[in-house]
Structure 1
Amino acid sequence: MAYKHDYDKALTRLVTILTKLYNGEELSVKELAEEFNVSTRTIQRDFNDRLISFPIYQENRLWKMQEGFKIEKISSIEDQVVLDIMEKLVDGVGSKFSSKAKTLLSKIKNDELNPIYAKLNMEDISDKLISIQELERAVNSNFIVKCNYKLKENETYPIKIKPLKIANYEGYWYLIALDINDKDRLKKYYLKNIFNIKTTQSQFEVDSKLEELLNNSISIWFQQNTEPFEVKINVSNVISKYIQRKTIAPTQVIESIYEDGSVDIIVKVTHEMEIIPIIKYWLPYMKVLEPKWINTKICDDLKIYLK
């Protein structure tokens, strides 16, 4: 319980400091230490480590927000709609994260009424915000990270990784990274099972092919060092309009459009499980035309289910 209390205090302190900075205040380390009843060393660490990814700087012993980042009320209708959508999107990320985000958003919104509703089914990561910030700093600066990972309930082991992306697939949060102790093998770590994060000062380079792989991935099933292959899918006219409105994959292209409104689409995947769950979700209005073995696998699964 003491750990959670300390975490809550740290999170509240960081959010308060950022709010002050975004409001244009110039902050003294000594005064903040007195305000939060912590050491000046703790406050200095907040600025130098935990808040390093934010546009802040120190001048004449005072911490400030860089020009152009001060929070101001907005008047643009387009900006207002974007903020309304953002406000609703954070509802699904966890109660604590949502409340903090809404507090910040309220400072730049002109009204309290939001007519937009959005439903995201995401797991709550409110208890990992400080860890996420540390990982975000490592990802942005290409720093190697040492940490502990809990594989099972009572099985934790140390890992040394090159963090690439913090990603969300189907509502679950992951850290995509290269395992240095396993010949830089690409691995997906469940974010909530990462502990004791220590960012080193050793940097690494990111292969452009890895960036492309991550950007084109559909689900957590994507694979490294696997040549992407094409999957051709017939989409019934019953759902074709939805598939054209919101693509099922970044690589999706429409190959054929038929008179009845159905379409043939092609997507690229690195693993069959990137596409099979999507096909099953849309059954019976989707069918894999090529490669045949994927369609056979789906049919075999259905036979097992029907038994």
Structure 2
Amino acid sequence: MILTRLNTGERLCLSALAREFNVTERTLQRDFNERLSYLPIERENSTYFIDPKFLGRQRKSDIKPLLEMLGLSQIFPSFDELLFSQLNTNQIAPFLFRNIKVEDTTGYEETFKSITLAIQENRKVKFYYKRKAYNEVSPYRLVNDRGWWYLVGIHNSTLKSFKVLNLCGVTISKQLFERHSDIDRQVVEGTLVWITDSPTEAVLRIESTIASHFRKTSLFPNQQLLKDLDDGSLLVTASITDQKQIIPILKYWLPDVEILSPVELKQSLLYELQFSIEQLSR
């Protein structure tokens, strides 16, 4: 929102923004000086604005840091060859994303805003998750993993993830926490195991006809290659804390994926398929 207002030529007063977004002026100053430092922002006392000669422009050098901050830079093969500068014109955009899996977030907009604010101000939060109270959680990032939003943070000295959909009663504490670069790196690089209390490991057999897709990319949550079989198929494992993390992916790749374990996951998938068939038969 701030970026849009700046790019339309609006002059933003720090104190007014602080009241509007219910944050401190110090937080906003840090955003202008660090997060938005790649923009040609001018300052007069406590008022920020974009140099008029840059208004409405959108350059490759502008959008690259933004994509990197959001973890989206690897979507595009090259920044040198892509004409990002044309995205703000009346021409048809050269890029189009289709069939992106996203959840319905309308039910937790305020929760999302509160967590975002806590992350920006390095403040601890407390909340209820699946009827259990979690106090003094240090929120690091809101991560969208395969279309689902998760809060990733430190609780009881352990890195955990919580599906935002299942959070309730989120309260921002006055207590600050110190961010650690190694934790940030672990979240960004995707090496963490999505855990709440204990993850479930699924063992899957991938048919040879689609095996190449799974060799190139981790399509399942926390996917690990277990074994290359003689017939060209693969054995892989996936670590999940919620069956909704993996069932939509399994349904997409059927019938070329077989669940070897756990039995509960196979039963849940069968139930989903039977329910879908009943719905179509009505």
Normalising by the smaller structure, the TM-score range is 0.5 to 0.7
What corresponds to 1:285 in structure 2?
256
Instruction: Report the alpha carbon displacement of residue 21 of structure 1 after superposing the two structures with TM.
Output: 2.7
2:219 is paired with a residue whose SS is coil
Tell me the amino acid that sits aligned with residue 61 of structure 1.
Answer: N
Secondary structure of residue in 2 paired with 1:168: strand
Change (3 A) 1:141 1:263: farther
Is the Cα contact below 8 Å between 1:254 and 1:263 reproduced in 2? no
Match of 2:280 in 1: none
Which position in structure 2 is the counterpart of 1:11? none
Match of 1:237 in 2: 208
Amino acid at match of 1:42: R
What is aligned with 1:21? 6
Q: Which amino acid aligns with 2:233?
A: V
Give the whole-Å Cα distance in 1 for the aligned partners of 2:60 and 2:163.
42
Q: Partner residue of 1:5?
A: none
Distance 1:131 1:73, change over 3 A: same
Question: How much does 1:252 deviate?
Answer: 3.4
What letter corresponds to residue 99 of structure 2 in structure 1? K
1:200 is paired with a residue whose SS is: strand
Provide the rounded CA distance (Å) in 1 between the counterparts of 2:166 and 2:242. 26
For the 8 Å contact 2:43–2:49, the answer to whether it is kept is: no
Cα pair 1:287 1:295 within 8 Å, conserved: no
Check conservation: 2:205, 2:234, Cα contact below 8 A.
yes
- Pick from 137, 152, 161: which aligns with 1:176? 152
- CA distance, structure 1, for counterparts of residue 50 and residue 166 of structure 2: 33
Any idea what SS the aligned residue of 2:31 has? Answer: coil
Unaligned stretches of 5+ residues in structure 1: 1-14, 34-39, 90-104
d(CA) in 1 for partners of 2:107, 2:28:
17
Cα distance in structure 2, aligned partners of 1:127 and 1:107:
36
Alignment match, 1:161:
137
> What are the superposed Cα offsets for residues 239-287 of structure 1, whole Å, 9 maximum, x if unpaired?
22333454224543474265x6x33243453669599745565444234
Displacement after TM superposition at 1:188 (Å):
1.6
Query: How many Å separate the matches in 2 of 1:295 and 1:127?
Result: 31
CA spacing shift, 1:46–1:107, aligned 2, 3 Å = farther
Task: Indicate the residue corresponding to 1:190 in structure 2.
Answer: 164
The alignment partner of 1:54 has SS state of: helix
Aligned to 1:139: 119
Once residues 18 and 240 of structure 2 are traced to their aligned partners in structure 1, the CA distance between those partners, rounded to angstroms, is 48
Cα distance, 1:127 vs. partner?
7.6
CA distance in 1, matches of 2:166, 2:27: 19
2:88 aligned partner: 109
Relative to structure 1, is the Cα distance of residues 48 and 111 closer, same or farther in structure 2, using a 3 angstrom cutoff? same
Residue number among 221, 239, 242 corresponding to 1:269 in the alignment: 239
Shift, 1:114, TM fit: 3.2
Whether the 8 Å CA contact 1:50–1:134 is kept in 2: the answer is no
Q: Give CA deviations for 1:147-175 in whole Å, capped at 9, x if unaligned.
A: x55868xxx98954222331334533332
Structure 2: which 5+ residue stretches go unaligned? 34-40, 76-83, 275-282
Query: Taking structure 1 as reference, are residues 158 and 272 closer, same or farther at Cα in structure 2, changes over 3 Å only?
Result: closer
Give the match for residue 19 of structure 2.
42
Q: TM-score with structure 1 length normalisation?
A: 0.51
* Alignment match, 1:200: 174
Structure 2 residue corresponding to 1:54, chosen from 31, 51, 65 = 31
Is 1:72 aligned to 2:57, yes or no? yes
* Bigger proportion of residues as helix: 1
Residues 26 and 201 (structure 1), Cα distance of their counterparts in 2 relative to 1, 3 Å cut: farther
User: Percent same amino acid among aligned pairs?
Assistant: 16
Structure 1 Cα separation of the partners of residues 141 and 185 of structure 2: 9
Task: Count the aligned residue pairs.
Answer: 243
What residue is the counterpart of 2:224 in the other structure? 252
Alpha carbons 1:179, 1:187 under 8 Å: kept:
no
Which residue identity lines up with residue 31 of structure 2 in the other structure?
Answer: F
Provide the rounded CA distance (Å) in 2 between the counterparts of 1:210 and 1:267. Answer: 25
Counterpart of 2:174 in structure 1: which amino acid? T
For the residue of structure 2 that corresponds to 1:55, the secondary structure is helix
